[in-house]
Amino acid sequence: MPKIITAVIILTVLALAKLESPDISAVPASARSVGLGGVTSVIVDDPSAAVHNPAGLAPLKQLKFFSMAANTLQDVNYLNYGLAFPLFEHSVLGISYLSRSVPQIPLTDASYALDPDYGSLRFTSYQESAVILTYANERSLWRRPLYWGVSGKFLQKGIVNYAQGSGSAFNLDIGLYAEPFRDLGLGLKIQNLLQGAENRAAQGALLWGTGEAENIAQYVTLGLVNRTLQRNLTLALDFKKNISQSFYPATAHFGAEWHPLDALFFRAGAGQYLLAPDEEDGGNSALGAYYSAGLGLNLFGFRLDYAYCPDREVADLTTHYFSLSYVGAEPASERKPAPVTVEIPPEIKYQTILELKFPTANLTTTDARLLVSGTLKHGSVYVLGGEEHTAAGQKISREVELSVGLNDLLLGTPEQPEVYKLKILRLVKYDDIAGEKAQDSIVAVSTLGYMSGDYPQKFNPKRAVSRQEMAAVVVRINKYSEPVLRGILDEVDILSNQGILKGFPDGLMRPDEKLTRGQLALVLARLLELPLREPRPYTIVSYEHWADPAILALERTGMYKQAEFTPRGAPVTKAELAGLLGRLPQVNSQRAALYAYEETPAEIIHSSYQQTPLLPALTAEQARSSDRLLFEEILRSP
């Protein structure tokens, strides 16, 4: 029974062929797009963009492929696959194949209609396919990236073993994608640009075996995408209009993709579709709505996507979509550190107008709050941090907020506000950096405010950083002026003006592209003002990478090793960026200034009421040694 229903649907489509022929490439070609509610025009840097929006292929920097399999309407089989690869000068070429078919459609004759038991029953199949060749390129518009692309596609459709029921056509799609502001993208796609005339083989028309021709549905899609929350949350919106049928309303599609880990993707979306024309409503089409959900998993560069798209009218028609793509390797897991216990050095107690029990010496900690405790020997009011408080039962017990970095802790009485003057260093604490080689540099650059975690108490050390993120860190380290017009003049522009970060041969800065080790080597060499020679020309005998002169110059300084920058084209992780930038002299000097409190142990300002200490005070050398041990222990803690 389902096959007969499907056959009726297919034959109905063919009966209406004089009006307009549908296009197989007008529907989502990947499970990722289905999970995003059918959003297509703003999917970039993905091999399926060859079908969705040819401009979206332009950012590709390596070979990628995609595939999708699904079974809709119980018997309509979808099978899509394609690949894309860079050519030269930011050019990308894509080749895709789309197909859908309905196998085993029953064909009956008059004898079967009279007596199904003795009548003849034959079967045929309906097949539809598209071969798409896509070219995409990247340009610059007002110093922001602009992608464009064009697709030529050869369409075929028809019934097997029925020559007059088959047709073919050639048509063009064009697409644009631009980012007028960082994290905000706009997409445009015009599908089936060539439009012929009915009843003749015109440009872009579908020519049937009968000699008749029909136009292919023409669509215009406008899209908007925004990336937020460290670019891990993507919100996308599409508006799609069949402009060859003016009485068809436009459909809207919305999707959200959350990327909490480099290897994990959660998706949800909603969209609209055209219902059958209603005769009572003058033949106009109404809109129906659907929702979808999806999941993606990236393992060693292979991404498995799943999408679930239920049918609100027929529960049996719920479809599951599966896609397998190669999009490049990403880290798939994070290590969970083991807890480490930090012991507090011995206290120094004094018998005075104030007896401070904790803390009694300069202290290094990772806590955001510090409990100050002690005893008030005289009176009932004490002063902590410039504010007066009443001591209940002459007991001092109050928490103070610690900011990241060096804090002054002042404790005294209204008459003498600074009886105790201590320095408390609060270090940034992350739960996912235990075991990292650059652990101490991560803590240092984060405490200095140059880098931050992706999530609360999560540094995400394995995540690859972009050129923009690196530029932002360097701008903070060198205290360059912050950009005035955010989104138009970014940190990459500041480093470009300083001659530290240079653009690509086409003049683009590509701020959102992943930073490579070779690029970072050039930035470090320029920050250190190292003399750089030109790389040796490429020859068959000797090959020198364009970053090799900078890497060799860095190695001669004794601060870096050549192995830290190989392979040159590998992306730089957050941990590697912190470790390499943390060795710069300007970072070391600021770090030393931050930790200079070790040179001055806790200062106890003696009052006229103070008596001989109950315990001897630590010498300056003992205090420095104690604090240094504590600091090193905290660096080893999660």
pLDDT tens, residue by residue, 392-413: 878 888 888 888 888 888 888 8
Q: Which pLDDT band, with edges at 50, 70 and 90, does 94 fall under?
A: very high
The SS3 assignment for 21 reads strand
* 22, 26, 32, 34 alpha-carbon torsion, rounded to 10°: -50
Distance CA 187, CA 36 (A): 15
- Cβ-Cβ contacts under 8 Å for 469 (sequence gap 6 or more): 515, 577
pLDDT of residue 536 exceeding 90, the answer is no
Q: Which pLDDT band, with edges at 50, 70 and 90, does 184 fall under?
A: confident
Distance CA 583, CA 579 (A): 7
Average of per-residue pLDDT across 176-186: 87
Contact assessment for residue 36 and residue 294, using Cβ atoms and an 8 Å cutoff? yes
Distance CA 158, CA 102 (A): 11
600 or 272, which is more confident? 272
332 or 518, which is more confident? 518
pLDDT of residue 336 exceeding 70, the answer is no
Give which of 175, 134, 136, 171 is closest to 154, Cα–Cα: 171
Q: Which two tokens stand for residue 28?
A: 């989502």
Q: Which two tokens stand for residue 258?
A: 């959350």
Whole-number pLDDT of residue 284: 62
Secondary element (H or E) of residue 551: helix 548-556
pLDDT of residue 81 exceeding 60, the answer is yes
Indicate where the chain has its CATH 2.40.160.60 domain(s): 2-326
Average of per-residue pLDDT across 159-166: 72
Whole-number pLDDT of residue 594: 75
pLDDT of residue 148 exceeding 90, the answer is yes
Contact assessment for residue 168 and residue 207, using Cβ atoms and an 8 Å cutoff? yes
Side chain identity at 353, as an amino acid letter? I
Contact assessment for residue 86 and residue 60, using Cβ atoms and an 8 Å cutoff? yes
**DSSP one-letter string for 254-298:** EEEEEEEETTEEEEEEEEEEEPPPBGGGTTB--EEEEEEEEEEEE
**Whole-model pTM?**
0.54
pLDDT tens, residue by residue, 311-334: 755 555 667 889 998 887 643 333
CA angle 156, 160, 164 (to 5 degrees): 70
The pairing of strands 184-191 and 206-208 is unpaired
Q: Which pLDDT band, with edges at 50, 70 and 90, does 93 fall under?
A: very high
Whole-number pLDDT of residue 16: 40
Give which of 430, 529, 423, 531 is closest to 478, Cα–Cα: 529
Q: Which range, of 80-94, 228-242, 490-504, 577-591, averages the lowest pLDDT? A: 490-504
For 589, what's the count of Cα atoms within 13 Å in the CB-facing half-sphere?
A: 5
Q: Which range, of 243-247, 280-284, 550-554, averages the lowest pLDDT? A: 280-284
Name the phi and psi angles at 154, rounded to 5. -110, 120
- Cβ-Cβ contacts under 8 Å for 386 (sequence gap 6 or more): 410, 417
Distance CA 411, CA 359 (A): 11
Distance CA 112, CA 87 (A): 58
Distance CA 91, CA 83 (A): 14
Side chain identity at 136, as an amino acid letter? A
Give which of 133, 127, 43, 147 is closest to 77, Cα–Cα: 127
Side chain identity at 614, as an amino acid letter? L
pLDDT tens, residue by residue, 189-205: 999 888 765 444 467 77
Distance CA 288, CA 311 (A): 10
| Residue 100 CB neighbour total at 10 angstroms | 21
* 199, 201, 205, 208 alpha-carbon torsion, rounded to 10°: 70
Distance CA 274, CA 227 (A): 30
Q: How far apart are the first and last CA of the chain?
A: 63
In percent, the amount of the chain with pLDDT more than 70 equals 76
pLDDT of residue 172 exceeding 60, the answer is yes
pLDDT of residue 20 exceeding 90, the answer is no
Whole-number pLDDT of residue 210: 76
For 469, what's the count of Cα atoms within 13 Å in the CB-facing half-sphere?
A: 24
Contact assessment for residue 605 and residue 420, using Cβ atoms and an 8 Å cutoff? yes
Distance CA 144, CA 101 (A): 43
Q: Which pLDDT band, with edges at 50, 70 and 90, does 388 fall under?
A: confident
Per the prediction, the chain carries an average pLDDT of 77
Helix/strand/coil percent split, the chain, to 5: 20, 35, 40
Distance CA 65, CA 179 (A): 25
What DSSP state is assigned to residue 164? G
Q: What is the CATH number of domain 2-326?
A: 2.40.160.60
Average of per-residue pLDDT across 143-155: 89
Q: Which pLDDT band, with edges at 50, 70 and 90, does 268 fall under?
A: very high
* 583, 587, 589, 591 alpha-carbon torsion, rounded to 10°: -100
| Residue 620 CB neighbour total at 10 angstroms | 12
Distance CA 244, CA 240 (A): 12
The pairing of strands 363-365 and 420-426 is parallel
Whole-number pLDDT of residue 597: 65
Secondary element (H or E) of residue 578: helix 574-581
**DSSP one-letter string for 330-357:** -------PPP---PPPPP----SSEEEE
Q: Which pLDDT band, with edges at 50, 70 and 90, does 457 fall under?
A: confident
Angle between helix 574-581 and 439-447 (nearest 10): 80
Whole-number pLDDT of residue 62: 86
Name the phi and psi angles at 542, rounded to 5. -125, 135
In percent, the amount of the chain with pLDDT more than 90 equals 21
Most confident segment among 15-19, 250-254, 530-534: 250-254
- Taking phi over 0 as left and psi of -120 to 50 as alpha, with beta for the rest, 422 belongs to beta
